[in-house]
Structure 1
Amino acid sequence: MDVLSDVIAVMRTGRPRSARVEWRAPWGQRFPAAPGSAGFQVVLRGAAWLLPPDAPPVALSAGDVLFFPRGHGYAMADSPSTPVTEPQCDPYTDESDLFASASIDGQGGPATVLLCGGYRLDPSRAHPLLRDLPDLIHLPAAPGLHSGVRAAVELLGAEIHQPGLGADTIVSSLLDMLLLYILRAWFAAEHGHCEVTGWAAALTDPAVSAALDAMHRDPARPWSVAELGARAGLSRAAFARRFATLVGQPPLAYLTWWRLSSAGRLLRETDAPLSEIAAQVGYGSEFAFANAFKREYGVAPGKYRRTACPPQPETSAMGR
């Protein structure tokens, strides 16, 4: 797996959720803050206004994509002057279906079709990549731009509107695809800036990205700073400085963090024995792994596995 795919796999928990909603003006919808979540809105048809809590309204047109990496609250409406109501469609909730389609009539005015969705993230393992993102990513509709985002949106909207055989798997995969395309578009846009910093720079820096890729592809390997520097084509000292500047921590500190984050995902998602997980993430014994895991998470691996993923409730109608 590449670095970005790896990061998403570790942070994501549970299934993403989505809804295609047709609103008839006048309409106004509040989306409350949802810590530990990330969400998106896409204007499929018509026009709308984004109403941030602490910023001026933003006019949106068909094709505009909004992404909220940290689940900040906001509202949307057909006009900045329309009163907003409490949620009728909230894809962040654990009771929401994987996907749903609905029509909500105001007073028979012009129609706006929105595609909204939510992802659950593990707040205890927030990757520094996520912390570098702004509170809102706005990808305006523009001919020739973000073709991957557009393709994923078109397929997702069509599948939710008229689901067919295999819709659950298709929608879930398309939601993951959309998230990656949104992040890829933002990183590409940031890379075009003159003074790009942080993870936007780290993922596009040939030396640092080569080292990150090596660590992510083979976390069990006993990497040294000198060996990672050789992968990056730099001396040990030059590589260590460059990596720490862009990533925010020394190479081996990041490697340890990544190994234990990967272990947490394996504990949540598999029944593999602790000895096997220890070997997969680079620990020579189950004892050494358990000690390192407890220092990082505050609990032993076995207890983490028992408590990290409580049983999920049965799905119900979107927004109930």
Structure 2
Amino acid sequence: MAQPLQSYATSTAGGPTGTDSPATVTLCGAYELDQARTHPLLEDLPELVHLPAHLGRHPALRATVDLLAAELERPRLGTDAVVPALLDTLLLHILRAWLDEQRSSVTTAGWAAALNDPVTLAALQAIHRDAARPWTVATLAAEAGLSRAPFARRFATRLGQPPLTYLTWWRMTTAARLLRESDAPLRAIAARVGYASEFAFATAFKRQHGTAPGRYRRGA
């Protein structure tokens, strides 16, 4: 889970002396990440994401930057609430823009490739939309519009793991979030992530996280 820091910095530098170059404005923000619970997409990101300022290429990103700059230059009522929300929005637009830039890449594996592949994306969306459904490779393949074997190969090539392995990971990640953020009983959480048996859920959770659900909740 990411927690945006509640402090921000800006700096402005003019162009080279004697030129009419526009000023450069630097906006700095940061996120604190729990390294034990980061999304695998973050592992695929380069250390630096550079998005050239091509006019009109990423209008939503440009608009978000402008809104954030305006709030920081002229704080008003509600700025403390607006800025963190805009930082979240900015991060999402940066990730979207980066993924769009990867469409022309020859990379066939990793999250960028998976999210740009309509077959893998359809399966991921189905899993995320209804993790409790009793998914099989065949039913996920049907969601993606392929037969079972080609779908399984394509999914594994893109994400580096079979569909049902990813399904279990997503279910246990969702369960961990529910344990941290809610008081729902274990049987209810188990049902929400597709387990009719609380014992089977606890076994799968411990295999994924190395501890029982109840102990995980107490230590969260």
Same fold (TM > 0.5): yes
Contact residue 16 and residue 117 of structure 1 kept, 8 A: yes
3-state SS in 1 of match to 2:67: helix
- Give unpaired runs (5+ residues) of structure 2: none
Between the aligned partners of 1:46 and 1:146, the Cα distance in structure 2 is 25
Q: CA deviation at 1:146?
A: 1.8
2:49 corresponds in structure 1 to 137
Match of 1:235 among 133, 147, 160: 147
SS of the aligned residue for 1:249 comes to coil
Distance 1:238 1:213 in 2: 18
Q: Does 1:304 align with 2:216?
A: yes
Offset of residue 261 of structure 1: 0.7
C-alpha RMSD over aligned residues: 2.2
CA distance in structure 1 between the partners assigned to 2:26 and 2:117 by the alignment: 36
Displacement of 1:196 after TM fit? 4.7
User: Where does residue 153 of structure 1 map in the other structure?
Assistant: 65
Helix, strand or coil at the partner of 1:138 = coil
CA distance in 1, matches of 2:184, 2:68: 34
CA–CA distance in structure 2, aligned partners of residues 276 and 155 of structure 1:
41
| Aligned counterpart for 1:284 among listed residues 196, 202, 207 | 196
Kindly state the Cα deviation for residue 194 of structure 1 after the two structures are TM-superposed: 4.0
Could you say which residue in structure 1 is the equivalent of 2:3?
A: 14
DSSP-derived class of the 1:21 partner: strand
Q: CA separation of 1:278/1:153 partners in 2, compared to 1, >3 Å: closer, same or farther?
A: same
Contact kept, 8 Å, 1:16 with 1:118, in 2: the verdict is yes
Q: Quick one: percent identity of the two aligned structures?
A: 61
For residues 161 and 275 of structure 1, what CA distance do their matches in structure 2 show?
50
Q: Which residue does 1:71 correspond to in 2?
A: none
More helix by share: 2
- Change beyond 3 A, Cα 1:281–1:221: same
SS of 2:29's equivalent? strand
Amino acid at match of 2:9: R
| Structure-to-structure mapping, 1:1-320, within 5 angstroms | 12-22=1-11, 46=14, 113-308=25-220
| TM-score (norm: length of structure 2) | 0.89
Instruction: Decide whether the 8 Å contact of 1:21 with 1:115 is kept in 2.
Output: yes
Q: Matches of 1:129 and 1:198 in 2, distance apart?
A: 8
Say whether the 8 Å CA contact 1:149–1:182 is kept in structure 2: yes
Cα gap change, 1:298 to 1:210, in 2 (>3 Å) = same
Change (3 A) 1:47 1:304: farther
Query: Cα 1:149–1:280, aligned 2, differ >3 Å: closer, same or farther?
Result: same
Tell me which of the two structures has the higher relative contact order, counting C-alpha pairs closer than 8 angstroms and 6 or more residues apart.
1
Moved more, 182-191 or 299-308: 299-308
Instruction: Give 4+ residue runs of structure 1 displaced > 3 Å after superposition.
Output: 15-18, 45-48, 194-197
Q: Distance in 2 between matches of 1:149 and 1:190?
A: 17
Uncovered stretches (5+) of structure 1, i.e. residues with no partner: 1-11, 24-44, 49-60, 63-110, 309-320
